[in-house]
Amino acid sequence: MVLNPVISKLSGKLVVLASASPRRLEILTNIGLRFEVVPSWFKETLDKTLFKMPYEYAVETAKQKALEVAQRMPFKHLKTPDIVIGADTVVTVDGLILEKPVDKQDAYHMLSRLSGKEHSVYTGVAIVLCHERQEFKVVDFYEETKVKFAELSEEMLWEYINSGEPMDKAGGYGIQALGGMLVEYVKGDFLNVVGFPLNHFCKQLEMIYNSPLESPSHKMKREDSGGTDGPCSPVNSLSKVTENGEVSNFNSSDSAGQTPVPEQNVVGPECAKCNNEGFPHKIVDLLDGFKASKTLFTACKLGVFDVLSDSEGLTVEEVADKIKASVLGTERLLEAAVSLELKGEVTQHMYRNTEQASRFLVLDSPLSLCGYILHCNDLVWPLFTHLESAVREGTNQYERAFGKKTENLFQDGYFRKDDIKMRFMNAMHSVAKVTGKDVATAFDLSSFKTACDVGGCTGAMAYEFTKAHPGLSVVVFDLPPVIEMRSHFQPKEQDDRVSFIAGDFFKDELPKADLYILSRILHDWSDDKVHELLSKLSKACTPGCGLLVSEIFLDEERSRPSRALLQALSMTEGRQRSAAEYSDLLTKHGFTPVHTQCTDNLLDAMLFVKEDPNVDKTLQILSSESVVVT
């Protein structure tokens, strides 16, 4: 059996693993399956005595786990999965089902029972297929593997138990780690003992997608969801092209360097009945906002805007063929994009990009936001599916979303693998390209000759500064892995005024400069780390040295929607601040605020200068306040 075509059947589908097991996550990730992790809330309290065979218990538990997630996600996570995978592994010996031990003594009893004996490991798997007709189709199966333990001494038993490994493993051992030393032989699928029967799973997928009528499945009625879709489209962020080729574009922000901003909902004559007094338009807009976001993410992920970029128009079938997707799914995605004004419909059967889509959503466009959009889809979206837990716990949900812990989200989460490094750098590069010009031109920097962009990533922001200020040279200072990969982002026209130095801005000496740039840096770190960095900068700066801070500033009066407040919900160790809070923060480290500029772009900016200790501080502050621009 060729596996890749089987896994490719799931391409473009929202596949969900209803398990927090890092072992299952690793097994499925290693075969290239793209999926989200949504741990099931099903309490594993089924009465084992009601099942004649151990595998029946494992299968039923797996099914209940998967169904709980499939039923919950449309309401709690605000998205409907295509497939949910549930699994449960049990170990049986002497007719007894052994699950995870509750404490060390329980682990001791389990391992003592297994010592010197052959036992069975069963994994039950349930694949829930979610259909539009308010029903589920469930395919379930099990796999059995025989395992023989060596005779275990008391010393070996307790040494293994005290390692901590048995405590989250069925049967009290992990065959893929230290527990493998206890095993004499294995008969059957090794990965089944680890926690997921991969071979059997792939065979079931092949049956489901190649012989759907013969697949061993049964249907279950979905609980009535009520639904939120009404006769009016609550979100307008795209434009539609009429049959005569004219583009009706409702987006007002269309200048280079500016972020496309959706206008308020435009109600047509057919929806006039919805425009009644007291109707909660704002709430309805927010209610359906996630659908618009995911439409944008999916279209970028599948490369829809790219395949349309070199054409005056393509049919649904042509687009579907180019993005390797179903005609039905492609048609619905294109129609949704037209309703959001991301795509224009040239005729009844042809589609093309709008002007803004060509400018901001095509991958190789100079102002492409694709890198940041894909970053939001792959990292931010999974984190926000666990927003309830984030709010309850006040912690980042990286482990719950991705199945693994991280001590340092920035380094461990992004820079362990080259493809993940590239994905993160693409995101930062696209934001810098779109925001760079507005930040670089926010202030008159003619008095500064050298600048250091601290954490400047690909150098996109640095190049915008040298374009805007001919007398300025900029050093980009960032981590060695970032500097190593910068060549992938170099502009066609080289500028020798931009250079790169590798280093850690917490550990290494900063390059000398008379202007330091901190763009999207301070909000990432804890207060202690922020003070550590600012103290270091303060010591490096001589009187009159400049410091430019570029962040999303909180709107203190809450008079407009705040990207900063929404971003803060990711619960990173850092936090968002208002311009006044940044001013207070920098003043404590010897910097005087000079100018504040709200760019109406993704980032705002503030300019500070290092105080001269020989000049009265009160006079410096009064002087600076006289030229503050808001």
Task: Name 466's Cβ contacts closer than 8 Å, sequence gap at least 6.
Answer: 472, 473, 474, 495, 497, 498
The DSSP-derived string for 499-548 is EEEE--TTTSPPPP-SEEEEES-GGGS-HHHHHHHHHHHHHHPPTT-EEE
Q: Show the domain range for 285.
A: 239-251+263-358
Domain containing residue 316: CATH number: 1.10.10.10
Q: Confirm whether 540 is domain-assigned.
A: yes
Task: Name 209's Cβ contacts closer than 8 Å, sequence gap at least 6.
Answer: 6, 9
User: What is the pLDDT, as a whole number, of residue 234?
Assistant: 28
Same domain, 440 and 551: yes
User: What is the pLDDT, as a whole number, of residue 186?
Assistant: 92
Token pair, residue 372, equals: 């940041």
User: What is the pLDDT, as a whole number, of residue 417?
Assistant: 58
Same domain, 196 and 277: no
Domain boundary among 311, 332, 358: 358
Same domain, 621 and 512: yes
User: What is the pLDDT, as a whole number, of residue 280?
Assistant: 81
Q: Using CA of residue 357, residue 359, residue 365, residue 367, what is the dihedral sign?
A: negative
Same domain, 216 and 304: no
- Using one digit for the tens of pLDDT, what is the confidence trace for 6-55? 777 788 889 999 998 888 998 998 888 888 888 898 887 788 888 889 99
User: What is the pLDDT, as a whole number, of residue 575?
Assistant: 85
593 bridge partner residues: 608
pTM over 0.85: no
* H helices, E strands: number in the chain: 24, 20
Domain containing residue 451: CATH number: 3.40.50.150
Q: Confirm whether 369 is domain-assigned.
A: no
Same domain, 511 and 564: yes
Q: Confirm whether 424 is domain-assigned.
A: no
Same domain, 163 and 293: no
R_g of the chain computed on alpha carbons: 28
User: What is the pLDDT, as a whole number, of residue 133?
Assistant: 53
Same domain, 212 and 292: no
User: What is the pLDDT, as a whole number, of residue 614?
Assistant: 62
* Residue stretches of the chain with pLDDT short of 70: 1-5, 77, 132-134, 211-278, 344-348, 404-419, 492, 556-562, 613-630
Secondary structure element (H or E) that encloses residue 26, with its range: helix 22-30
- Given the residues 82, 88, 224, 504, select the one marked as catalytic: 88
- Can you point out the beta strands (E) in 115-244? 118-130, 135-149, 183-187, 217-221, 239-241
Token pair, residue 261, equals: 């901003």
Same domain, 211 and 323: no
Token pair, residue 285, equals: 């807009």
Token pair, residue 44, equals: 């594993």
Same domain, 138 and 102: yes
Q: Confirm whether 363 is domain-assigned.
A: no
- Using one digit for the tens of pLDDT, what is the confidence trace for 259-268? 333 333 333 3
Q: Could you give the dihedral angle defined by the CA atoms of residues 88, 91, 95 and 97, in that order, rounded to the nearest 10 degrees? A: -50
The owner of tokens 């996109």 is 460
345 bridge partner residues: 351
The rounded distance, in Å, linking the Cα atoms of 420 and 382 is: 15
Annotation says 88 is catalytic: yes
Domain boundary among 358, 393, 421: 358
User: What is the pLDDT, as a whole number, of residue 176?
Assistant: 82
Same domain, 205 and 284: no
Q: Confirm whether 372 is domain-assigned.
A: no
Same domain, 199 and 269: no
Structurally, the chain folds into a number of domains equal to: 3
Same domain, 271 and 215: no
